[in-house]
A and B are shown apart, each in its own frame.
Chain A
Amino acid sequence: MTVEFLGTLRGLSYLAAGMLFILSLRGLSTQESARRGNLLGTVGMGLAVIVTALVFLASVASRDTSAPEAAAAAPTMAMGLLAAALIGGGAVGALLASRVAMTSMPELVAILHSFVGAAAVLVGIATYLQPAAIEEHRTVHLVEIYVGILVGAVTFSGSVVAFTKLRGIVGSRPLMLPGRHALNAAMIVGSIVLAVMFLDQPGADGLPYLLIMTGIALVLGIHLVMAIGGGDMPVVVSLLNSYSGWAAAAAGFMLSNDLLIVTGALVGSSGAILSMIMCRAMNRSIWNVVFGGFGAAPKAAPSGAAAPAGKINETSVKEVAEQLLGSKNVIIVPGYGMAVAQAQHAVKDISSLLIEKGVNVRYAIHPVAGRLPGHMNVLLAEANVSYEIVKEMEEINEDFAHTDMVLVIGANDIVNPSALDDASSPIYGMPVLEVWKAGRVIMLKRSMNAGYAGIDNPLTYRDNTYMLFGDARKSVTSLLTELRG
């Protein structure tokens, strides 16, 4: 095989891989085509890896013959390393994928982002260590490397913090350092200054600057994500998703590899769009999420004028069961509380039972329910709920008025009416599920504690709202027993 032929083959297969990735994402636009989409993505990836491996082997082989005086151990070592890394990484990934619980998907996604970030940093440094590869147009290449490492490092440390927050290793409350905006600004300015100094260094002498900058970027990533409250995690995770794409694209620029650029750009825009969707769903700008420190201690009594403190109607499992059986239309609104309590299977059993008895049961999913975009959908899918009865907010919000009963399971802020009618509320303007328009609302809650936003929910005091206190799973399970009995 000649080198030219390999070059053409590589170009063609990269093009094909890029197309396959695009088709893969396109496949996700409907449930029917989603699995095929994932398959196409896998094929694209396999193609890219195999062809790159061929090129790799060819170049190793050619170097072997053309430069016999070179250390013969180096290519062998490279080959060994590659094989070990591919097999090891693949095995770890497969293990992770088969073991992870669906409720832990946010953590898995976060940690995978961190790997991409770390890989970008490592590739960047490794590239810099080969002065030969970056002689032409040195400045441009150096900038590419610098930026790639910067983005990669922020992605890496940010994702690790997001992971620890989602795991609960670190508390979900935002960390508010005094003068944190100044701190962020100083770190960014510092990185720029270092960049100027770094560009002046000949050969690989700029390495110390590069490493210092990496350190700063790591701190920046940690600091940025530490300042974000637990409820904003869907936005942060999508934002990091976007960063990981940009990091891959940057690596593509430094290696002049179009496939990396294309893929990185796809992933980057995907994450950016997800962040936008999440922000819209909370009626907040991305700046507000990243720098706002939302979810901190609420300002004293945000809803001053119409303090809704009032009578709470409590209900019992028995009553709810009777009412459910007497209803024609029921909508279930799951929230993060359902995920925490792992109640999705019991909830599914309730909905199937009701459907069997001729009740029209549907699920209403708010875009930011849970800790990951689409988190609730995955949990319900895991519990075998048909996706045809799982509706998005826009699809179902109109229907609450014609619904007999709504079960709100472990959700709070996404059903808070003050988002629509109380201009002083911190979540004012956020689109919410208008559950109160239904005949009767049952809220399953652990206690009267506020949601992550720390605001009182006037829904709990409505006349047609009934509270069922207790752990979501226990309540749901006893409700199921009651319905069966």
Chain B
Amino acid sequence: MSTKVGIPKETFPRERRVAASPDTVQKLIKLGVEVSIEAGAGVAAGFPDEVFVEAGAHIVPTATALWGQADLILKVRPPSLAEIDLMKPGAALIGFFWPAQNKALIDRLSARKATVLAMDAVPRITRAQRMDALSAMANIAGYRAVLEAANHFERFLPGQITAAGKVKPAQVLVLGAGVAGLAAIAAAKSLGAVVKAFDTRAAVREQVESLGGQFIQFDFKEEGEGQGGYAKEMSAAYLAAEQALIASHAERSDIVISTALIPGKPAPVLLTSGAVVAMPQGSVIVDMAAEQGGNCPLTEKDAVVEKYGATLIGYTDLPSRMARQSSELYAMTVFNLTESLFPKEKGFTIDLEDEVHRGALILKDGALMWPPPPRPKPPAPVAPKAEAPKAVGAGHGAGPAEKKKGVGGRVAGAVLVVLLTAAGLAGPPDFLQHLTVFLLACVVGWHVIWNVTPALHTPLMSVTNAISGIILVGGMVVLGSGAGAVANVLAAVAVLLAAINVAGGFLVTQRMLRMFRK
């Protein structure tokens, strides 16, 4: 009996996403499960029932029927208490869950002996990136935030020089350079605005700059990186200094996008009322932290308000405003997690040894599994890691070898000098002269060859092939010196071989070089 996967229509107000796309339905069916979808579940996301049917899903007319039959429910938002009561006892649920804020739901689900995996609790490790629904949504939200801002901003974003006058580019300030912040930087930049970004974590500077943003440096002795790559909460003095710095930049900004969130805590106030008052008339603020109280105290959740000449946007459903895109990506992350729950030849299995499963697991057959036991600290920051192998190498491998080579080189050099001196003293005078020529030529060759571009190393080899055919001249000298017949024949063969080199080398080099073109 194969597992029945059910995808209900989301009931949360203004939620337009759905936890499956036609693409993931097909993939789910390949895993050997049956897929049912509540009628109309995907309509708001641009997936009418027909496309799901085409992909192989059954359409179930009501929520009651769907929840009642499914062994595994895939959702976007946490279920409502009413939905939980429809759920088949012992069934499993995958979706955003926010366990810290939803104790009541946990209790109700526990009574139903349910198994719950939270998409928001998937650990942020490399292996789980394809299941990282938070990042996928944050990326969309950051992009959308810029578009919302641009929509309310009654001027151009890019600078222009028109016949009617000059337009200055809009100044955009992004607070918090997480996934959403970075997406906002990229979007604002590509619309032509001048973008500055603020983050307490100095490590993100590079990412900001790679997107063309200007990083605002904040010097205050307190490191901002918490566990799992999220920013952590700071002291009062720190916050005051931070607010002052942000206010000074906000004063010159037309658009502020604030994205700063601290997991499980109200959002920090970064943009004070005073800072908003000081902003230019007509400026726009998108407070992406509105759901957690906002980074600006003037923001109103789910509303657009005008205060002190600034427009404050407090939408909490930014991903839902791009429901099709969000659904496609969210469905993919849900599918990737689901896929890992169906190992080959086995049915639905949760592997408690698997860091991803363990991290995401909230309830297992009604038993509370959250929070998971603490994991070892996140891997050391990149910089020391990059240095570590080098240090190891210096200790065990490359170091001594290099040193040996250095010493060996010097010894060899000294021996060479002694030998050459001896040869020079003992040998005929013209030998010394040849030696001088030889050594000088080596030095010249050494310097000239290092300048050869690596791309031309093959032509270099064929040219040197050709010019080492100069030994042809040697053969000719022997031939010309009136030697015996045997010597003549040998020399002639040498000339023959060398001539092949000369002709072959130069011609093939020419052929090759003709191919190199811009």
Contacts and interface: CB of A to CB of B under 8 A. Distances in A.
Interface of A: 17-18, 21-22, 24-26, 28-31, 34-35, 37-38, 41-42, 44-45, 48-49, 52-53, 55-56, 59-60, 63, 70, 74-75, 77-78, 81-82, 84-86, 88-94, 96-98, 100, 102, 105, 108-109, 112-113, 115-116, 118-120, 122-123, 125-127, 129-130, 133, 136-137, 140, 237-238, 241, 244-245, 247-249, 251-253, 255-271, 273-274, 277, 283, 285, 365, 367, 372-375, 377-378, 381-382, 384, 386-388, 390, 392, 401-402, 420-421, 423, 428-429, 463-464
Contact of B458 (A92, A256, A269, A377): A377
B466 A45 contact: yes
B129 interface: yes
B451 A93 contact: no
Contacts of A277: 454, 457
7 contacts: A105-B512, A120-B471, A126-B478, A245-B468, A256-B430, A274-B460, A365-B454
B488 A81 contact: yes
Contacts of B495: 81-82, 85-86, 89, 119
A120 B471 CA distance: 7
B518 A41 contact: no
Interface in B435-460: 437-439, 441-442, 444-446, 448-460
Contacts of A420: 389
Given A55-B480, A130-B481, A270-B460, A109 B465 contact: yes
B507 A98 contact: yes
Contacts of A108: 462, 504, 508
Given A85-B496, A122-B475, A258-B434, A129 B445 contact: no
Given A25-B464, A81-B491, A378-B458, 9 more contacts: A25-B449, A86-B499, A245-B464, A270-B464, A365-B454, A374-B456, A402-B210, A429-B389, A463-B130
Contacts, number: 419
A81 B489 contact: yes
Nearest to B211: A402
B228 interface: no
Given A34-B456, A77-B488, A81-B479, A252 B434 contact: yes
A94 B497 contact: no
A269 B514 CA distance: 26
Contacts of A21: 467, 470
Interface of B: 126-127, 129-130, 210, 389, 392-393, 396-398, 401, 405, 423, 426-428, 430-431, 434, 437-439, 441-442, 444-446, 448-518
Given A129-B486, A261-B434, A52 B507 contact: no
B437 A94 contact: no
Given A89-B496, A367-B454, A283 B473 contact: no
A264 B435 CA distance: 12
Nearest to A271: B464
A257 B474 contact: yes
Among B426, B452, B464: residue with most chain A CB under 10 A: B464
A429 B127 contact: no
A31 to B, nearest CB: 5
A274 B461 contact: yes
B452 A115 contact: no
Contact of B468 (A17, A244, A378): A244
Contacts of A96: 500, 504, 508
A126 B488 CA distance: 7
B55 to A, nearest CB: 17
B476 A53 contact: yes
Contacts of B471: 116, 119-120, 123, 247-248, 251, 260, 264
B182 to A, nearest CB: 12
Contacts of B389: 420-421, 423, 428-429
A260 B516 contact: no
B454 A392 contact: yes
A28 B453 contact: yes
A259 B457 contact: no
Contact of A28 (B126, B460, B477): B460
Given A45-B469, A60-B480, A374-B459, A112 B505 contact: yes
Nearest to B484: A129
B516 to A, nearest CB: 4
B493 A374 contact: no
Given A136-B428, A255-B477, A463-B129, A248 B455 contact: no
A102 B473 contact: no
Contact of A262 (B401, B441, B459, B499): B441
A170 B494 CA distance: 27
A257 B482 CA distance: 17
Contacts of B463: 24-25, 28, 37-38, 41
A127 B498 CA distance: 16
A274 B457 contact: yes
Contacts of B465: 109, 112-113, 116, 241, 244
A75 B453 contact: no
Contacts of A63: 482
A82 B479 contact: yes
B469 A105 contact: no
A84 to B, nearest CB: 7
A98 B365 CA distance: 75
Given A45-B466, A113-B465, A384 B515 contact: yes
Contacts of B488: 74, 77-78, 81, 126
Among B439, B441, B453, B488: residue with most chain A CB under 10 A: B441
Nearest to B509: A38
A378 B511 CA distance: 10
B490 A125 contact: yes
A115 B480 contact: no
Closest 8 CB pairs of A and B: A89-B499, A93-B503, A374-B457, A93-B504, A269-B445, A373-B457, A265-B441, A97-B507
Contact of A265 (B442, B472, B500): B442
Contacts of A388: 518
Contacts of B458: 105, 109, 372-375, 377-378
A30 to B, nearest CB: 6
Given A105-B462, A266-B467, A374-B460, A74 B491 contact: no
Given A25-B449, A258-B437, A123 B460 contact: no
B159 to A, nearest CB: 23
A53 B488 CA distance: 15
A93 B505 contact: yes
Given A94-B503, A260-B470, A88 B459 contact: no
Among A44, A122, A237, A273: residue with most chain B CB under 10 A: A122
Nearest to B340: A311
A37 B506 CA distance: 11
Contacts of B510: 35, 38
A129 to B, nearest CB: 4
B438 A241 contact: no
B445 A384 contact: no
B441 A85 contact: no
Given A261-B437, A377-B458, A25 B445 contact: yes
A48 B476 CA distance: 11
A85 B505 contact: no
B494 A123 contact: yes
Contacts of B504: 92-94, 96-97, 108, 112
A25 B466 CA distance: 12
Contacts of A86: 472, 495-496, 499
A75 B506 CA distance: 30
A37 B508 CA distance: 14
Contacts of B438: 249, 252-253, 261-262, 264-265
Contact of B455 (A116, A273, A365): A365
B460 A259 contact: no
Contact of A52 (B459, B473, B513): B473
A38 B487 CA distance: 33
Nearest to B456: A28
B512 to A, nearest CB: 6
A17 B335 CA distance: 71
